[in-house]
A = this chain, B = another copy of it.
Amino acid sequence: MLVRCAFIETYKTPFYCNNFSSHSTMSIYQATTSAPVNIACIKYWGKRNESLILPTNSSLSVTLSQDNLRSTTTARADPSFTADCLWLNGKVDPIKPGGRLHTCISEMKRLRAAFEAANPDQPKIASFNVHICSFNNFPTAAGLASSASGFAALVYALAKLYALPQTPEELSLIARRGSGSACRSLFGGFVAWDMGSDDVTGLDSKARQVAPESHWPEMEALICVVNDAKKGTSSTSGMQRTVVTSALLQHRIGYVVPSRMADIESAIADKRFGDFAEITMRDSNQFHAVALDTYPPIFYMNDVSRAIIAIITEYNRLSDQPKAAYTYDAGPNAVIYALTPNVREIAQLILYYFPQAEKIVIGGQEVEAALPEGFNEAVAKRWEVGSVKGLIHTRVGDGPRVLSDSEALLNAQGIPKVLA
């Protein structure tokens, strides 16, 4: 989305990197995009190459709807900008040389330069500095990983700013350099990140859409935002400690994940929810198992997380096939996947054990705490209000979106409209 405009006033700001000189007449090159959160069913945990961010195993995720959770990014290139600059949630986020932000921005500029070389009629903007402003619509306090949606939105915004011909798959290579799992947020639906085997270029380590969101639109998710006093180990340092110290990780990588990837892709293709759920739960368990097998051990789940697992396990015991699948990333929050007909019942169950301060509404109707027939209440205690501090109901969703200029996060002068 290229927007042209006739005039920018000189503008002085207190921020270190957005002093720019005045111009009389110029074009504005700017694009605004949003990108989704994805939650893995087969977990990414461990890099075989830290600088290229090449994983030790393939992974697979569900893209969640941007109607609920998204990162929005505006990127602008302008000859008056004296430095590349990025604001995240209204605060300057330094672009350190050689850092991940720097890598992504440089790679995108490189693609633009190649594009300009191949298309001499294109404006020469590859050398301009860029201002990038990004917002997550979910609070960091929610403990939801924002780096995946954030880097996907960043790469996509730059791709649109630069009018690049690259496919989402090709862009996923660059998002991966920002944050491994970000590559999967370049697609909607069900997305694999194939680990690849080229350790020199990493060009075969990219995302691939296994099925679009329209394939299985009944796939919904209930996110239980769990209160946690303690800040866990960062996933970047945690996963490398696992690679170095866990005796079990190599077995997971070599023998477990390959067949799980094939099995879950097939379960998705055939919409076999029971199999999808079992693989998802087993892989979440195994990811946390290798984290625990790390030395010193890494814990992300707490007693509330454990209680939710006990509740979902009991819920699934009541039917032939699992009707709910929990999964936990590098934190205590549960994401529960379920099909549309079962979501209300599962929300009732969660509410029974984890009362909420605010009303929970699903499908326009308030959810009341309740246990299904035959449910063994004793699998968990009833917790106090605030133990699960929020429930987010969402569903499988689409890939990155291009937004209109009215949704841009930068003002006419190229600085954030909203600052923290």
Assembly CA distance A294 to B292 (angstroms): 14
Contacting B at CB under 8 A, from A281-334, are 281-282, 285-286, 288-290, 292-297, 299, 302-303, 306, 309-310, 313
Within A17-67, the residues touching B (CB, 8 Å) are none
Contacts of A142 in B (CB 8 A): none
The listed residue (B255, B292, B381) touching A230 by CB distance below 8 A is B381
How many copies of the chain does the oligomer comprise? 2
- Please tell me the number of chain A residues within 8 Å of chain B, measured between CB atoms: 32
> How far, in whole Å, are A290 and B282 apart by their CA atoms in the complex?
12
Q: Measured between alpha carbons, how far is A346 from B181 in the docked complex, in Å? A: 41
Q: In the complex, which of the residues B251, B281, B292, B294 contacts A251, with contact meaning CB atoms closer than 8 Å? A: B251
CB closest chain-B residue, reference A247: B256
Docked Cα-Cα span, A309 to B294, in Å, equals 13
Q: Are the C-beta atoms of A285 and B278 separated by less than 8 Å?
A: no
**Most chain B CB atoms below 10 A, which of A255, A288, A293, A306:** A293
Whether A309 touches B297, Cβ cut-off 8 Å, given contacts A256-B247, A302-B303, A380-B230, is: yes
Question: Which residue of B248, B278, B288 is within 8 Å of A252 (Cβ)?
Answer: B248
Tell yes or no: A200 within 8 A of B by CB. no
Q: Does A6 contact B (CB under 8 A)?
A: no
Contact A229–B295 (Cβ < 8 Å)? no
Q: Which residue of B lies closest to A298 (CB)?
A: B285
- Asked if B289 and A292 make an inter-chain contact with CB atoms under 8 angstroms apart, the answer reads yes
In the complex, A296→B247 CA distance in Å?
22
Q: How far is the CA of A282 from the CA of B292 in the complex (A)?
A: 9
**Once the chains are docked, how many angstroms separate the CA of A296 from the CA of B308?**
12
Q: Which chain B positions have C-beta within 8 A of A256?
A: 247-248
How far apart sit A302 and B289, CA to CA, in the bound complex (Å)?
15
Query: Within 8 Å CB of A290, what residues of B?
Result: 248, 289
For A306, list chain B residues within 8 Å (CB).
299, 302
A299 proximity list for chain B (CB < 8 A): 306, 309
Q: Which residues of B contact A278 (CB under 8 A)?
A: 295
Query: Which single residue of chain B is at the shortest CB-CB distance from A317?
Result: B296
Q: Are A292 and B297 in touch, CB under 8 angstroms? A: no
Expressed in whole angstroms, the Cα–Cα distance for A299 and B288 within the complex equals 11
Closest to A295 in B: B282
Name the residue on B nearest A256 (C-beta): B247
Residues facing B in A63-82 (CB within 8 A) are none
Inter-chain contacts of A285 with B (CB < 8 A):
292-295, 297
Most B C-beta atoms less than 10 A away, residue of A282, A285, A313? A285
Contacts known (A252-B248, A256-B247, A297-B309); A292 close to B288, Cβ less than 8 A: yes
Nearest CB on B from A282, distance (A): 5
Bound-state Cα–Cα, A124 to B286, Å:
57
Q: Which residues of B contact A313 (CB under 8 A)?
A: 296-297
CB distance from A323 to the nearest CB of B (A): 14
Question: Chain A 240-279 against B: per-residue CB contact (8 Å), 1 yes, 0 no?
Answer: 0000000110111001100000000000000000000010
| Nearest-Cβ distance from residue A46 to partner chain B, whole angstroms | 14
What CA separation (Å) do A105 and B282 show in the bound complex?
41
Bound state CA distance, A309 and B381, in angstroms?
24
A residues in contact (CB < 8 Å) with B = 229-230, 247-248, 250-252, 255-256, 278, 281-282, 285-286, 288-290, 292-297, 299, 302-303, 306, 309-310, 313, 380-381
Pairs of residues from A and B, 3 with the lowest C-beta to C-beta distance, nearest first: A251-B251, A289-B293, A289-B289
